[in-house]
Structure formats: C-alpha cells, structure tokens
Structure 1
C-alpha cells in the first residue's frame, strides 16, 4: 500500500508541475494552493509514515548541509535587502512567500530523497520523468504544427517555442534527459526498443531546436563531449567513433524536418549581421549583465539582498527584466558567499554521482548515471544564459531520484 502511495505521489508531482505551469490550475477552495504545494504536503505525510515504519526519520545526505547553508544565506539576505537604501517598501510577508517559492526545489529534494524507499521506486520515478519529457515534447510539436491549439504553450516568438514556460528555461530542462534515448539506442539489444528510442531522440532534438535557444545549443555541445568521455570505457573505440558520428548526424535530421521559415528565423538568431549591435544580438543581455556586475561590485561579499536584481536594474536603467543568468543573479542577491555555497551544491551532486558511477559495473545502471551526469553538466552550463526557475522543481526531483538510486547501488556494494 505504501509502495503504491509512493508511486502515485511521484507521478502526481510531475503532472501537477505541468498543470501549474501550462494549465495554470489552482485548488480554488484553498486560496493560492497549487497542485505542486498539495503534492508536497502529501509527500511530507507519506515521509512521516515511512519514517515510523523504518524507525528512522531522516536518511542523511551531505548535500543537506549545503542546502541548509544556502537557505540560511537567503534568510540573511532578506535583512540585507531591508537595510538596502535603494530598495523601498520591503514587506516581510512577501519576502517569506518568495523564499518559500525559491526553496521549493530544495524541499522536494529532501522529501523525495527520504520517501523513495527502494531502488524499484527510483526506477519507476525515473520512468515517469522520461514519459513526462516525451509528453511535453510531443505536445509542443502538436501545437507548433497547428494540429491542436494549446493556449498555455509558448510558441512562435521569433522562432522560439517551449513545452512549458520560457523557451530558454525549457531548453535547459531538456538537457537533463536528451541523452537518455541515445543511451537506450546504444545499449538496447531489442530492435523494436532500439529504434523506438531513436525516434524519441529525433522528436526530442526537433523540440530542442524549436526552443531557439543559443545558450542551450552551446550547452548541448559541451555536454555531448562530456557524455562521450564518460562512456568511452563502455564502448570499443570503433563503436565509439561510429556513435559520435551518428549523434552529430542526428542533430542535422530535425533541421531537414522543420519548416523553412523556422530555419530562417533560427539562422538569424545564430549568425549575426556584420553590423549587428551586440546588445540587440544578445536580446539586451549584454546591458543587463554589465549592470549586474556593476551592482555586484558595490556589495561583493553579502550581495544586495534577496531577489533584488530586477528591482535595482529597473531603478537604475529603467529595464524590467530578470538576470538571464542564475550565477549573476546569485552574485547580486547573495554575494560571493551565496554563489560559493550554490557551487558547492552543484559540485556535491556531481561528485556523489560520479563516485558511484566509477564503482558500478552493471551496464544498465552505469548508463543511468551517465545520463544524469551529462545532463547535469549541460544544465549547469545553460544556467549561464537563463535563471532556470521554471525547471528547478523537475531538476531537484530528478536529482533526488538519481542520488537515492546511487545510494542503493552503493549499499549493495558494501
């Protein structure tokens, strides 16, 4: 019964995330309560039941201490913001609400790391994430080609489209799962499974290109290089070269399948005119980033205060925009202390998974870790070009699944 509840809870979190972002659904009888929040409360209850059953409340992971440090820094930064003379009218209740939304991914990581009480539940959750990934990509393509009009899907904005939220954010999310289908194609011995994985990969690459994300494309190229370095021991040199050529070729297939008008728009985004203004080419990012660095230089240690980047940018430059760069956002909001803590979290995620990867010899298990590590590299690089707020919940849920799976693999080796 508890196992069924774990499965329902993890799958419902995925569905509720999509319905919140795309359908904008709220539980009307409980003001302001989203489906994601309702799922988190149910997961907390489930955690308590599982803790009583196994007589252990908390399954420890060293990442918790970095998350707590980051959370503490965010709380302190609220008071830094209150003391900042440039930021007026700060209301504590609003800041607490923003803090709760900002830390939602951290909460999901801790809760689901504790309720995934077996390797089979991790694999079920991973399957749900992959099905959801294909669902979003398919819905995006269906909408783009006008088979069905879905108002919540962002589309046709200067050659950009997304399955949910901002196209650049969606591209960052896609990097987490793109390698899954290529890995499945490589290791599968069943022809039906092998070629269905190939079809899913082509659909995913089409959807990825349709985001029109330049930062996402750069991140994909770097993550792909890292992916082939990681799997070098799993493939013979001749096969490795063959698969590298195949992967590069597959990047060209969607280009042949997409409409010519879209390709022209995409070319204009990628290749600037000789006389193009750098600020126009970067969609205003060069101005935003320059001003962001100026703000950071004024308060480099503790930052300017929680969620203050956009406020200060509008006040000084008259520009209403976000940072379009998570690292710069954290530099301005939390200072060097905050960005250092955040980087420790990312390094810890990579380090823990990579350590288990090196000590795992079963091919199917090893490839799951390869997919995550490559996706993590791509996602982390893509955050140079986007804040990543829309994909944060799914990133942390995926990380909880993989790190708990890694923990079970580690325990089996002992």
Structure 2
C-alpha cells in the first residue's frame, strides 16, 4: 500500500449519536430523491451513486447465495491470503474480541472467507447474513467498508447510515485492501466490524497498519525466495551464451547475463516452456527452473506489434493485450498506467508531459511524475509508446474497451 490519507467516518469532537441522526436524514433524502440536507463524504457519495445505478433496494438483504463448504474451502486455497493470516489474526483478533468487533477477511471478489472475534457480535452478524461464504461486494449488499474498499482500492471506514442498506445502519466497519507485493495484485480486504456504538476514529488506522504489516511479511518472504533462486541462477548463467534472465514465477529478475539484472520482467498471464514473445525483448525461449524460469533471448529480427487492446471493463483490473505477427502478450497493468494508456488512446497525435499531467492529475506542473510513469510503462511495453510527443507508435491499431478509470 502506498502512502495515503486515512479519513475516519466520525469527525473529531462530534457526538456519535448526533452524527448518526444527521447521517440518517441524509440517507433518507438520498434514497427518496429529495434535496440532501448535507453532502455525505465523497467516498460515500460515490458509492451510493454506484449502488443506485445498480438498482439496489435499501431495504433488502444480501442478494447472492452463500458459498457451500466445498466452495468456501476452494476459495480459501485460491485466494493467496493464507500467508497473511497469522499477522492479521495476531494484530487484530484480540482487539476484536475485547472491543465487541469481528475480524473479517474477504477475497478480491468480495466473498467472506474467514470471520473471527466477539461471539455476541457474530450472532448479530449471522442475522444480517454477514457470514462466511457471503458476498459482501457493493452490488450485493450496498455501501459498506469491505465492498467500498474493494472498489476504491484504499482503506475505508463506514459508520451507521453511511451504509446504503438500512439493516446495516446499526453497524460500523473499517476495512483496508491487501495486495500481493510480488505483482501488485489485489488479494482481498481485512475488516473490523461491530455495533455502531463502538465506532472509533483510530480503528481505520489500526486495520491499515496491520494490513501493511502483513504485506511487509509477504514481501520479506518473497525476497528470501528470490535470493534462493539467485543462488541457483548464477552458476547456471555462467554457462549460458548470449542474453538470458532467470526470473521467479512473477517475473522478478533473480539474475541475468547481457542484460540489466534488477527489477521485474512483465510476463504474460500464463507462461509455459518453449517459445515466448515479449514486447520489450521480442522472441525468447523459456525453460523451467525450480522456483522460476530461465528465459533466453533470441537474437533475430522481431516484427513490431500491430494492435493494442486495453480492457477496462472489470473495475480495478485493467488488462493490456499486445498483438504482433510473432504472437500476443497479456499483462495486468496498474490503474495509473491504465489511465495513461487511456489518455494516449484518446489523443493519437500525442501529448506533452504537461498535457498528460493535466489529464492524469488535474495539474499541468506534475511533469516529473508523468515522465517517470511513462518511463516505467515503456520498460514494460517496449516500443508501443514513443516520445516527442508521447503517443502510441504509428501504424498501431489501438482499441479501448470500457471507460477510463480514476487513479
């Protein structure tokens, strides 16, 4: 998680009960189409707009079936969250039990995988349908810290009538996203939920801090694995002629010969032994290694890419596909890079750094940040982005599916 401002749901010095009553008036006006007496926080207003567009009934309960035991276990295995559980439980579970809260961990699709904590609060959650296997996305249960954090991709606290569904107005919750530091992939969300009367401004900071600590432990484990792979790779590369790299399954470079030996090589969604085409390097041959890949670069002319497809239809999961005569390459790009690619697709004649800064940040002076982002992107996608001005390469067909996303 990067540095970010944490916005508590309860303003400093405000009486919680008075604030809950004020929120209830705002919520009632919002769902009945009346003039709002006050504006909700922007993260809440944006979420309410999303769930209204989905036609969600503020008086209904969860709309999706609960996973059965076999489905739940399968999702737990596939989530990638197992290594984070000891840190999350160690940092939050005792507090949850003492402070009349439950600790909830969901996967990237919003399904509740684990729920622990206060048994009394757990019984209240059961009546709400807030159980293991339930779908807690915004589209299923309305505005809530878990589902809204999945969409906003940042820590979120929701209090009382900020929840869109009325049955949740007696609750407060604070959730923080969990990412895989190896590839930036969203793994899920960790959350503390409890009765509205237990709301506290520091809960969000605590959940965020424990989430960061869990990610840090995963990062440390990854560095240890990479160092182990490096020990295997160095004597192997000493016997290789030509340019080659050894990477872990996520593309992180353990060692290289004839090339830069640090950073990450963006690999396609699935890699198999044999020929491989990469936009930044052209033709390659892949060989499996214990814990990674040996990638040999083939020194021969590579046909340039002919088509680029940017798919923004899945919120928070932008995907770039580059097509060429030698094959195709698929890569999940960051939301920021998706924004940049969307801007360049909309301005095929090119943009200066200041023009891109105005589009991305609303501030034309942030040219240093733009140049750094473009440089990082070009290391991933090779020559499909050119400079002076920044633009997609000529004779390249560009297709964008879905709408540009906010950073």
TM over 0.5: no
Greater length-normalized contact order (CA 8 Å, ≥ 6 residues apart): 1
Higher helix share: 1
User: When the two structures are superposed, what TM-score results if normalisation uses the length of structure 1?
Assistant: 0.27
User: When the two structures are superposed, what TM-score results if normalisation uses the length of structure 2?
Assistant: 0.27
